[in-house]
Amino acid sequence: MANTLLMPKATAVWLVDNTALSFEQIAQFCGLHPLEVKAIADGESAQGIKGMDPIMTGQLTREEIARGVKDPNHRLKLSEPKVRVPESKRKGPRYTPLSKRQDRPNAILWLVRNHPELKDAQVSRLVGTTKATIEQIRERKHWNSASLQPMDPVTLGLCSQIDLDIEVQRASSGRPAAAPTGDTLLPASMTERLEPRVEAVADEDKELDANAVFAKLSALKSKTPDEDEDDRP
C-alpha cells in the first residue's frame, strides 16, 4: 500500500486539469498509456470521474510537481505516506445492506466483464456474494440473466474505489503482459526519437554528361540549309 497510487484515473484527471505536466509524465505516474491521458484531456475518456487531488491525499508534493514541470524528462515519485494504516483483514464475504442486495448481480456482471482477471474469492469480497452466484453469472445460467445490466459496484455503493483498485492490483501482479494481436502503437518515448527519412537525390541534381550534349549539338549544325532544299520534292 505504501507504493500504490490510489484511484489512478481520478488522479490523472486532476493532474491534467491543474498542472502543466506532459501526458507521458502523468501516464507514467498513474500507470496509464499516454494516449489514454490525451483522451482524458480531450474529454473523450473519464467524463464521469471527479479528479482527486494527490497533494491533499499526501501522495504527491507541490515541489515534485514543480520539478516535473521544469524538466519534461523527470519521472514523478510517489510520496511516502506519513501515517501507515494497517490493512484490515476481513473473514468471509462483505456484508451488503438489504436495500442494495438486488444490485449485486449487476455488479458481479460488471466485474466479470471489465476485470476478468479477478478471482471468484475477490469478487465475493468486493460485493458480498457467493461463488455459486458468480459462476452462474459467468456462465449465463443465472435465473435473471436476461435482465441483468452491468453496473459499476463503486457507483452502486457496494464497495469503495480503493478496495476495487487493491483487488485489481493483486489479480494483475505476476501476470505476463498480453501478447500483441496485430499492429500496435509505438511508445511515445520511441516516436519522439524517430528522425525524418532522408530523401533520395533528385534526378535533376545529377551531374550532366558534357560530351553527350556537345555531340548532339554538332549533329544538328552539320545539316545545312542547302541540304534541306535538296530534300524537297
Q: What b/e readout covers 185-205, taking b as 16+ CB neighbours within 10 angstroms?
A: eeebeeeeeeeeeeeeeeeee
Of 40 and 231, more confident? 40
Question: What is the per-residue pLDDT for 71?
Answer: 92
61-80 as b/e, with b when 16 or more CB fall inside 10 Å? eeebbeebeeeeebebeeee
Element (H, E) at 120: helix 120-127
| Spatial distance between the Cα atoms of 205 and 16, rounded to a whole number of angstroms | 50
The Cα–Cα gap between 112 and 120 comes to: 9
* Angle at alpha carbon of residue 1, lines to 76 and 11, rounded to 5°: 45
Res 230 pLDDT > 90: no
Which residue, chain included where needed, has cell 494504516? Answer: 85
Evaluate whether 78 touches 3 at the Cβ level (below 8 Å).
yes
Contact 50, 10 (CB under 8 A): yes
For residue 57, pLDDT beyond 60: yes
CB 155 within 8 A of CB 200: no
Residues 4 and 19: their CA atoms lie apart, in Å, by 21
pLDDT at 104 over 50: yes
pTM above 0.75, yes or no: no
Give me the pLDDT at residue 146, please. 86
Cell of 166: 487493491
d(CA 132, CA 128): 12
- Under the banding of pLDDT at 50, 70 and 90, the label for residue 93 is low
Query: Which range is most confident: 20-24, 197-201, 224-228?
Result: 20-24
Task: Provide CB contacts within 8 A for 87, sequence distance 6+.
Answer: 1
Nearest to 83 by CA among 179, 201, 2: 2
CA atoms within 13 A on the CB side of 84: 5
**What local confidence, expressed as pLDDT, does residue 1 receive?**
43
DSSP for residue 79: P
Digit-coded pLDDT (tens) for 139-185: 888 888 888 889 888 888 888 889 889 988 888 876 655 554 445 55
